[in-house]
């Protein structure tokens, strides 16, 4: 089958953009799929000789692509949810051009408008590289599982946070030390808040939720907690209890309400997702006919992300975009985190004296909370003899747990605010 020549314009030649160009050159994909780079927009100077072509238009300002029309696909790799990236993507779609992007911030924030720009038209926007780099999760949802009803999707969507949690436990080191290590390796930025505060995960979860449930997911509706306050002590105790702590994004529709949460939680050692360590991502999709599907791979980096970008480009090159029928978007209400029903890990710091356990359990009883397991550890402070009590609970309402903890934290034998981490059971 003869393939039509596919002309691409690349905006942004940073880590991912360089990877895309390298992959095209290295694997002779230009020849196999007749892909031609007609324009590159980058603030970095590009040598024509390095690209093997003298016919490429070079722009130092991506905005000049608005007046450039000699391309079929815009490959947007600049990043950011506003500014020039938004401007050139929206312009390309309005012109009827196809778009490939790795920009999770743009896709998650402007999901509704991007859909509107392509509804009932022959052009599309593809964004496999925006979620979990080397895992083809977008294709899984759009193609492989399109015949299934998605019941739940959850996973580790940020490699930096996973690296930190993994290495804190494995090296018995505090958060700050491992964060510094992640920065030295290039896994974390100088300002790591985007990763460690769960923002990156929430962007990816918004995209997955929108696809899985055919909704317009609002980023603001996602409950987000990061790992900044996770203590090594809790990783050790969780491990002793048979759990690992993972930063998860979780999405599910239950009783016509959307559950869309990002938070660190305890996951049983036997769960596949708990075995995903280091910088790797892992995603589980539960559906009606395929039951539980598990995907693992590198979530970031030049080569995995570039691979996803090229996969989308090749998709466009081998199949003609057919006019997409307009689809009705599902409207769902969001679930408040206080309405969550699940179990908890709790670490109490108390004075070592009689009546402590009964005082805690009394507040549990008042709020319909029952204990599942308990560990008691001795600890000595400079001022008085203290005890550490670690408890896991059976499922309960989060609202009830917050009421109980408020009362417990005010008891006269409690010397430090109680640490709590949610437990996720995927049985």
Answer yes or no: is pLDDT of 170 > 50.
yes
**Residue pointed to by tokens 């491992």:** 178
Whole-angstrom distance, CA of residue 393 vs CA of residue 406? 17
Write out pLDDT tens, residues 399-415.
999 999 999 999 999 99
**Residue pointed to by tokens 């599942």:** 372
255: CB partners within 8 A, 6+ apart: none
Structure tokens at 353: 């004296």
Give the count of beta carbons closer than 10 Å to the beta carbon of residue 309: 28
Answer yes or no: is pLDDT of 210 > 80.
yes
* pTM of this structure: 0.88
Percent of the chain surpassing pLDDT 70 = 92
Whole-angstrom distance, CA of residue 180 vs CA of residue 175? 9
Residues 188, 247, 154, 259, Cα dihedral to 10°: -120
Average pLDDT of the residues of the chain: 88
Report the pLDDT value the prediction gives residue 244, as an integer from 0 to 100.
97
Strand pairing category for 73-76 and 57-59: unpaired
Answer yes or no: is pLDDT of 50 > 60.
no
User: The CATH number of 337-424 is which of 3.10.20.340, 3.30.70.260, 3.10.450.630, 3.90.1150.10?
Assistant: 3.30.70.260
Query: For 6-130, which CATH superfamily applies?
Result: NAD(P)-binding Rossmann-like Domain (3.40.50.720)
Answer yes or no: is pLDDT of 31 > 70.
no
Report the pLDDT value the prediction gives residue 277, as an integer from 0 to 100.
95
Residue 422 pLDDT grade (very low, low, confident, very high; cuts 50, 70, 90): very high
We find that the CATH architecture of domain 139-296 is 2-Layer Sandwich (3.30)
Report the pLDDT value the prediction gives residue 2, as an integer from 0 to 100.
46
Q: Which residues pair with 410 in a beta bridge?
A: none
Domain boundaries, the chain: 6-130, 139-296, 337-424
Whole-angstrom distance, CA of residue 211 vs CA of residue 137? 10
Tell me if domain 6-130 and domain 337-424 are identical in fold.
no
Question: Cβ distance 173 to 232 under 8 Å?
Answer: yes
Report the pLDDT value the prediction gives residue 54, as an integer from 0 to 100.
65
Q: Which of 25-34, 74-83, 276-285, 401-410 has the lowest mean pLDDT?
A: 25-34
Q: Which of 17-31, 83-97, 164-178 has the lowest mean pLDDT?
A: 17-31
Answer yes or no: is pLDDT of 384 > 70.
no
3-state SS record for the chain = CCCCCEEEEEECCCHHHHHHHHHHHHCCHHHHHCEEEEEEECCCCCCHHHHCCCCCEEECCHHHHHHCCCCCEEEECCCCCCHHHHHHHHHHHHCCCEEEECCHHHHHHCHHHHHHHHCCCCCCEECHHHCCCCCCHHHHHHHHCCCCCEEEEEEECCHHHHHHHHHHHHHCCCHHHHHHHHHHCCCCCCCCHHHHCCHHHHHHHHHHHHHHHCECCCHHHCEECCCCCCCHHHHHHHHHCCEEEEEEEEEEEECCEEEEEEEEEEEECCCHHHHCCCCEEEEEEEECCCEEEEEEEECCCHHHHHHHHHHHHHHHHHCCCCCCCCCCCECCEECCHHHCEEEEEEEEEEECCCCHHHHHHHHHHHCCCCEEEEEEEEEECCCCEEEEEEEEECCEEHHHHHHHHHHHCCCCCEEEEEEEEEEECCC
Report the pLDDT value the prediction gives residue 22, as an integer from 0 to 100.
83
Whole-angstrom distance, CA of residue 295 vs CA of residue 283? 5
Report the pLDDT value the prediction gives residue 193, as an integer from 0 to 100.
94
Whole-angstrom distance, CA of residue 263 vs CA of residue 25? 41
Residue 391 pLDDT grade (very low, low, confident, very high; cuts 50, 70, 90): very high
Q: Which of 97, 126, 204, 244 is catalytic?
A: 204
Write out pLDDT tens, residues 211-221.
899 888 888 88
Report the pLDDT value the prediction gives residue 53, as an integer from 0 to 100.
61
Average pLDDT of the residues in 145-150: 86
Average pLDDT of the residues in 22-28: 76
204 is catalytic: yes
Write out pLDDT tens, residues 229-267.
999 999 999 999 999 999 999 999 988 899 999 999 999
Report the pLDDT value the prediction gives residue 1, as an integer from 0 to 100.
42
Structure tokens at 213: 């449930």
Write out pLDDT tens, residues 304-344.
888 888 888 888 877 765 656 666 778 888 999 999 999 99
Average pLDDT of the residues in 68-84: 91
Write out pLDDT tens, residues 344-361.
999 999 998 888 999 999
């Amino acid at each position: 089958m003869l393939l039509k020549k596919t002309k691409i314009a690349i905006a942004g030649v940073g880590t991912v953009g360089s990877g895309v160009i390298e992959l095209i050159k290295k694997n002779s994909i230009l020849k196999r799929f007749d892909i031609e780079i007609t324009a590159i927009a980058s603030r970095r100077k590009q040598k024509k000789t390095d690209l093997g072509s003298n016919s490429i238009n070079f722009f130092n300002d991506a905005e000049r692509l608005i007046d450039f029309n000699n391309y079929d696909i815009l490959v947007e790799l600049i990043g950011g949810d506003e500014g020039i990236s938004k401007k050139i993507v929206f312009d390309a779609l309005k012109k009827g051009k196809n778009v490939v992007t790795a920009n999770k911030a743009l896709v998650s924030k402007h999901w509704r408008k991007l859909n509107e720009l392509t509804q009932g038209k022959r052009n599309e926007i593809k964004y496999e590289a925006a979620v979990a780099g080397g895992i083809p999760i977008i294709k899984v949802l759009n193609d492989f599982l399109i015949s299934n009803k998605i019941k739940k999707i959850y996973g580790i969507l940020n490699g930096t946070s996973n690296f930190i949690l993994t290495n804190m436990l494995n090296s018995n080191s505090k958060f700050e030390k491992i964060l510094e290590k992640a920065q030295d390796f290039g896994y974390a930025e100088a300002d790591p808040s985007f990763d460690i505060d769960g923002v990156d995960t929430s962007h990816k979860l918004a995209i997955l939720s929108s696809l899985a449930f055919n909704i317009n997911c609002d980023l603001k509706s996602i409950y987000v907690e990061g790992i900044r306050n996770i203590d090594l002590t809790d990783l050790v105790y969780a491990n002793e209890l048979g759990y690992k702590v993972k930063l998860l994004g979780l999405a599910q529709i239950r009783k016509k309400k959307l559950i869309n949460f990002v938070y660190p939680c305890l996951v049983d050692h036997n769960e596949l997702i708990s075995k995903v360590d280091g910088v790797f991502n892992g995603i589980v999709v539960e559906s009606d006919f395929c039951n539980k599907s598990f995907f693992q791979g590198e979530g970031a980096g030049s080569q995995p992300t570039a691979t996803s970008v090229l996969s989308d480009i090749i998709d466009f090159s081998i199949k003609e975009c057919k006019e997409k029928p307009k689809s009705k978007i599902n409207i769902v209400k969001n679930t408040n985190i206080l309405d969550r029903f699940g179990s908890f890990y709790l670490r109490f710091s108390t004075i070592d004296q009689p009546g402590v356990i009964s005082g805690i359990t009394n507040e549990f009883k008042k709020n319909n909370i029952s204990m599942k397991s308990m560990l008691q550890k001795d600890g000595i402070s400079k001022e008085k003899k203290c005890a550490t009590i670690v408890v896991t609970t059976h499922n309960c309402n989060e609202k009830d747990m917050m009421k109980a903890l408020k009362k417990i934290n005010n008891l006269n034998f409690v010397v430090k605010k109680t640490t709590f981490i949610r437990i996720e059971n995927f049985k």
